[in-house]
Amino acid sequence: MNNKTAAVQMRNITKTFGSVVANDKVNLDIYKGEVLALLGENGSGKTTMMNMLSGIYFPDEGEIFINGQPTVISSPKDAFDHGIGMIHQHFKLVDVLTAAENIVLGLKEEGRLNIEAVAAKVKKICDAYGFEVDPYQKIYNMSVSQKQTVEIVKVLYRGADILILDEPTAVLTPQETDKLFAVLRNMRNDGKAVVIITHKLHEVEDISDRVVILNHGKFVGDLITAQTSAQEMTNMMVGRAVELNINRPEPVDPRPRVEVQGLTVRSSDGILKLDDVTFTANSGEILGIAGISGCGQKELLEAIAGLQRTESGTIRYIRDDGTAENLVGKDPLEIASMGVALSFVPEDRLGMGLVGNMDLTDNMMLRSFREGPSFLINRKKPRLLAEKVVKDLEVNTPGVSTPIRRLSGGNVQKVLLGREIASSPTVLLTAYAVRGLDINSSYTIYDLLTRQKQAGVAVIYVGEDLDVLLELCDRILVLCGGKVSGLVDGKTAEKHQIGMMMTKLGGEAANE
C-alpha cells in the first residue's frame, strides 16, 4: 500500500445533524489506482462522509487533504474543480434533457454550446472505458442502468480522478453489475481512485482492493479485501457477531390462497404494464417476484390490493374453507378487510403507506381509525401498538411521538412492515422491503417475513437482490416487461438463470 499515492486524506471529520452525530472523528484515505469499498450499516455515515467530499455537506470539524494539499470543499463546484465526482444513489439528471445536455450541465467552457463536440467527446470517453451511451437520447427514455452510465460519463467528462459511487448496484441486474464492475476496473487500471459505497458483501469481495468499515459514524477498520472474509467484515460492521444465513423452513401445508389468472393492466397513459399474468400464491409460502424495476411489480401488487384498475383477468382469493371470491372490482378497503395487507416501500420510502409529518402513533392509526363506535378516535390502542412495534422490531427512535420523517430509512421500513403484520393478514404483499437497509435490519425483516410464512400467511415478496430472493423465497416468479418470464424453485434455481429471464422472456431455457 505504501507505494501508492494518496489522492484524498480525510482527517478527524465530524458532522452532526441536530443532535444526531453522523460522523465522529473519522479518518479515511483514498489511493489512486485502487477501488475502495466503504462498508457500513444504514445510518453509519458512509454517504454523509462522501457527501462532504463532494461538497453537498460541509464538515463541522476536521480537514480534507487532496493530493497532500489542505483543501476546503464548500460546494459541488469546488469538488469538481478538485477532480472529485460522485454518482449519487438517486441520479442527479434532468429528465427532459438529452444525455449530452446533462453531461455538459454546469460546465463553464468557452464559446457557444456545441452539442456535436460534446457528443464526440462523450463517444471518446465511452470507447476508452467500454460504455455505451447515445448522447442524443433523452434521459426519461433510458433504463436505470443507462442513466447510471450517463452519470459516470458526466463525471469523467469533467476530468474526475476520484470517483465516488453511492450504492451503484442497488438497481442493476447481475449482468449490468458485471458490466459496471468491468468499467470500474478499467478506471482503476487507468490510475483513477474509485470509492464504492455498498452494503453487499459479495460485491465488496468482487470489486474492491481495500475496504473501510464504519459503524455508527465511527471508523472501525481498514482492511485489504483479499485478506479478510465476509464474516469478519460483517462482525466489524454490525459490532457483534451476526448469523449470515437466512433460515428457510419448508412450507407448512401450502394451499392456494391467491390465484391470479390472465391479469392484464394498462397504465393511465395506455402503456401495457402487465400482460396476461397467471400464477398462484400459496399460504405458508414466500413467493418471490424478480424483475428489472418497472416491469410491472408495482402494478401487480397494486392490482391485488385493489389500487390498480385491471383490464382483464381475475384475482381469486381463496379462504381456508375453500370458498373463493374475485378481488377484481372490489375497493381497497374491502380487500384489506379480507386480510390482504400491502406494505409497499417506494423509492422515496414515505410515498406510500406512511405520512412523514405524523408520528408513529398516528401512522399506526391510519389502519385502524375506522374501528370503534365512537365519533372520537381512541389513541390508546395505536400507541400501544406503536410501542410494541418499536420494541419488537428494534426501531431506533426517540419515542412514539416522533414524526416518521425524522427516522432513518431502515426504521421507517420497520414501522411500515410492523404495522402491516400487526393487522394479522392472510396475504402480505411487500415490495422492496429491504431497499436501502443495512445487513442487520435486512435480516430482521427476512426473519419477520419467515415468521409470517410459518404462521400460514401467503407472503409475496418483490425484491431486488437476487441472492436474497434465492435464499428467502420458496418459489420465484420472474417478470420481464409485464409478462411472466418464468417460475422457478428458490432452492434449485441459479442466479444467472434468473438474471437471463429478467432481461429476456423465458431466459436461456425458452421451454421453461
Of 140 and 369, which CB lies nearer to another protein in the complex structure?
140
Grid cell locating 469: 430472493
The residue within the footprint of another protein, chosen from 72, 105, 366, 510 (CB under 8 A), is: 105
Report yes or no: 479 and 486 within 8 Å, Cβ to Cβ: no
Of 162 and 364, which CB lies nearer to another protein in the complex structure?
162
Burial class (CB in 10 A: 0-12, 13-18, 19+), 291: buried
Q: Which stretch binds another protein (CB under 8 A): 69-77, 171-179, 202-210, 414-422?
A: 69-77
State which of positions 25-54 bind another protein (CB under 8 A): 54
Instruction: Number of residues interacting with another protein: please give it, by CB under 8 A.
Output: 27
57 counts as binding another protein under rule CB under 8 A: yes
Q: Which stretch binds another protein (CB under 8 A): 74-82, 225-233, 426-434, 467-475?
A: 74-82
In the complex, least distance from residue 295 CB atom to another protein, rounded to whole angstroms? 20
Of 76 and 332, which CB lies nearer to another protein in the complex structure?
76
The residue within the footprint of another protein, chosen from 61, 63, 109, 348 (CB under 8 A), is: 109
In the complex, least distance from residue 20 CB atom to another protein, rounded to whole angstroms? 10
Q: Which stretch binds another protein (CB under 8 A): 109-117, 240-248, 376-384, 411-419?
A: 109-117
Beta strands at 427-431 and 256-266: parallel, antiparallel or unpaired: unpaired
Of 136 and 369, which CB lies nearer to another protein in the complex structure?
136
The residue within the footprint of another protein, chosen from 112, 240, 370, 380 (CB under 8 A), is: 112
Of 20 and 182, which CB lies nearer to another protein in the complex structure?
20
State which of positions 115-174 bind another protein (CB under 8 A): 138, 140
Q: Within 10 A of 119 (CB to CB), how many other CB atoms are there?
A: 18
Report yes or no: 66 and 43 within 8 Å, Cβ to Cβ: no
In the complex, least distance from residue 57 CB atom to another protein, rounded to whole angstroms? 7
- How many Å apart are CA 50 and CA 28, to the nearest integer? 10
The sheet with strand 61-66 has its strands ordered as 20-31, 6-17, 61-66, 69-71
Q: Which residues, in sequence order, are bridge partners of residue 211?
A: 37, 223
101 counts as binding another protein under rule CB under 8 A: yes
E strand map for 6-155: 6-17, 20-31, 34-40, 61-66, 69-71, 84-87
Beta strands at 210-215 and 218-224: parallel, antiparallel or unpaired: antiparallel
State which of positions 247-286 bind another protein (CB under 8 A): 269
Report yes or no: 135 and 154 within 8 Å, Cβ to Cβ: no
- Element housing 256 (H / E): strand 256-266
- Element housing 117 (H / E): helix 115-129
Q: Which residues bind another protein (CB under 8 A)?
A: 17, 54, 56-57, 75-77, 80, 88, 92-97, 101, 104-109, 112-113, 138, 140, 269
